[in-house]
Homo-oligomer: A and B are copies of this chain.
Amino acid sequence: MLAVATLAALAALSGVNAYNNGLALTPQMGWNTWNHFGCGISEDTILGAAKAIIANNLTQFGYEYVLMDDCWHAPARDNTTGAPVADPEKFPNGIKDLADKIHALGLKFGIYSDAGTYTCGGRFGSLGYEEIDAQTYAEWGVDYLKYDNCFNEGLAGTPLISHERYANMSRALNATGRPILYSMCNWGEDGPWNFAVTIANSWRISGDIMDNFDRADDRCPCTDMLDCKLPGFHCSVAKIIDFAAPVGQKAGPGRWNDLDMLEVGNGGMSFDEYVTHFSMWSLLKSPLILGNDITNMTNETLTIITNKAIIDINQDAIGSPANRMWKRSVNEGGDLSLWAGSLANNSFVFALLNTSPAEQTVYLDFVDVFFDQGKAYQTQAYDVSDLWQKDVAGNWGKSIGTIQGGFNVTIGSHQTKVWRATPVQSANAKRAYGEL
């Protein structure tokens, strides 16, 4: 029998980058204006953030996109041509100039629009203007488009209707000849993990995140996203992780589930909660788009967002999201869950997440961790390292030894622990991959 992990690898290795712009072979990383500045953006605020990326050496960890979200717009399109126009007060030198400056810093530049009549912030939308907008973005030197879903005139409700609306922009972007990463933001409506894999590099899977670990909020009303009619916003981190569990199977190089921008550093969660947030986004292969004030970060924040070992999980070449191997209710409320995934070169990642309000101790059985890989994998020995501890050289990923069969873990409330495992002897494993 062909091991299931091999099947996952199959898709990853088969050369299908379904949306053929060659971008986002690993999940995109960067920073976006919205969470900190909202509509209060300008050339200065954006360049300031771009410079902070450089100053904090974030590029060496992979953060490269500077994303200008909503409200960059003039009150109206160009009267004559219908082309989009930027707010002349906020951007006195124009968007092209801004993009040039960002490129000069070695970064990439992204813009925002909406597949509707208006953007969510009430500016002019791109519905019906896809070609001129894409063309203008390309002329401005745009490298990335976040494409939102407000005021969509009822053009949703079946996969085909949503596909057509979003494919129009996809085709328009491709027609420009400029590679522009296409980041859909339709909040998971109509199942973009099904319909968008050939038209976009990533798609949001839920309503907007809030900076809170697990608070229930009526504004994020659905209990799962497979047929959600009102994605909303104010979705907690724990809820988004639940939403993401079944759809990881649809992602891969060039096509990612976007769990929404990161809240790390915004103050609404504890250190452990932010570690969980950053870890799970990484394991699930979400784009890692910072949403905090990167000109003014605490050490804790910087520590989290620069954990190279965790980022390596996110940026692993085979691009296979971790799967939830089990989820167990806890008496105190919340639950424990085990997540595991395949990495390149016959390596593996697994993680334990505790959303309960109390410390828990649990035995991690390798029968569960390596369920997908079959019996040979479940019984062999692994070199295991803990990715939230540093080794003696100060690098993330401290070895916890050679382990066979499983081990006991104690984990605090709202904590996530992440391990990387490599078989001590991998002859068996290599055979399975070799056949492909």
CA distance A203 to B387 in the complex (A): 45
Answer yes or no: A336 CB below 8 A from chain B CBs.
no
Answer yes or no: A324 CB below 8 A from chain B CBs.
yes
Answer yes or no: A365 CB below 8 A from chain B CBs.
no
CA distance A249 to B210 in the complex (A): 14
Q: How far is the CB of A212 from chain B (nearest CB, A)?
A: 8
Q: Mask for A7-24, Cβ within 8 A of B = 1, else 0?
A: 100110011101000000
Answer yes or no: A112 CB below 8 A from chain B CBs.
no
B residues near A55, Cβ cutoff 8 Å: none
| Contact flag A218-B198 (CB < 8 Å), given A38-B6, A160-B161, A161-B158 | no
| Contact flag A163-B154 (CB < 8 Å), given A1-B292, A122-B15 | yes
CA distance A195 to B122 in the complex (A): 16
Q: Mask for A217-242, Cβ within 8 A of B = 1, else 0?
A: 11101101011111011100000000
Stretch at the interface among A77-85, A113-121, A347-355: A113-121
Instruction: State which residues 279-337 of A face B: CB under 8 Å.
Output: 291-293, 323-324, 326-327
CA distance A341 to B223 in the complex (A): 24
Q: How far is the CB of A223 from chain B (nearest CB, A)?
A: 11
Task: Give A34's nearest chain B residue, CB to CB.
Answer: B2
Q: How far is the CB of A137 from chain B (nearest CB, A)?
A: 22
Answer yes or no: A157 CB below 8 A from chain B CBs.
yes
Interface centre among A6, A217, A248 (most CB of B within 10 A): A217
B residues near A430, Cβ cutoff 8 Å: none
Identify A198's interface contact among B6, B153, B219, CB under 8 A. B153
Q: How far is the CB of A274 from chain B (nearest CB, A)?
A: 13
Task: Give A432's nearest chain B residue, CB to CB.
Answer: B38
CA distance A427 to B224 in the complex (A): 40
Answer yes or no: A375 CB below 8 A from chain B CBs.
yes
Answer yes or no: A211 CB below 8 A from chain B CBs.
yes
B residues near A28, Cβ cutoff 8 Å: none
Q: In the bound complex, do residue A120 and residue B11 qualify as a contact, i.e. CB atoms below 8 Å apart?
A: yes
Q: In the bound complex, do residue A160 and residue B154 qualify as a contact, i.e. CB atoms below 8 Å apart?
A: yes
| Contact flag A11-B436 (CB < 8 Å), given A2-B35, A197-B151, A246-B230 | no
Q: How far is the CB of A336 from chain B (nearest CB, A)?
A: 15
Q: In the bound complex, do residue A38 and residue B230 qualify as a contact, i.e. CB atoms below 8 Å apart?
A: no
Q: In the bound complex, do residue B436 and residue A39 qualify as a contact, i.e. CB atoms below 8 Å apart?
A: yes
B residues near A233, Cβ cutoff 8 Å: 249
Identify A323's interface contact among B155, B196, B218, B324, CB under 8 A. B218
Q: In the bound complex, do residue A219 and residue B435 qualify as a contact, i.e. CB atoms below 8 Å apart?
A: no
Q: Mask for A188-206, Cβ within 8 A of B = 1, else 0?
A: 0011011111110000000
Answer yes or no: A156 CB below 8 A from chain B CBs.
yes
Q: In the bound complex, do residue A4 and residue B210 qualify as a contact, i.e. CB atoms below 8 Å apart?
A: yes
Q: In the bound complex, do residue B163 and residue A160 qualify as a contact, i.e. CB atoms below 8 Å apart?
A: no
Q: In the bound complex, do residue A7 and residue B38 qualify as a contact, i.e. CB atoms below 8 Å apart?
A: yes
Q: Which 6 pairs across A and B sit closest by C-beta, in order of nearness?
A: A154-B163, A16-B122, A154-B195, A14-B122, A221-B246, A40-B435
- Given A1-B35, A14-B122, A219-B246, 5 additional A-B pairs, CB 8 A: A2-B34, A10-B38, A155-B160, A158-B158, A226-B228
Residue pairs across A and B with Cβ atoms less than 8 A apart, 22 shown, are A1-B35, A1-B291, A18-B117, A37-B435, A151-B197, A153-B198, A154-B158, A154-B160, A154-B162, A154-B163, A154-B196, A155-B159, A156-B160, A157-B159, A194-B229, A215-B371, A218-B245, A219-B246, A221-B226, A221-B246, A226-B230, A233-B249
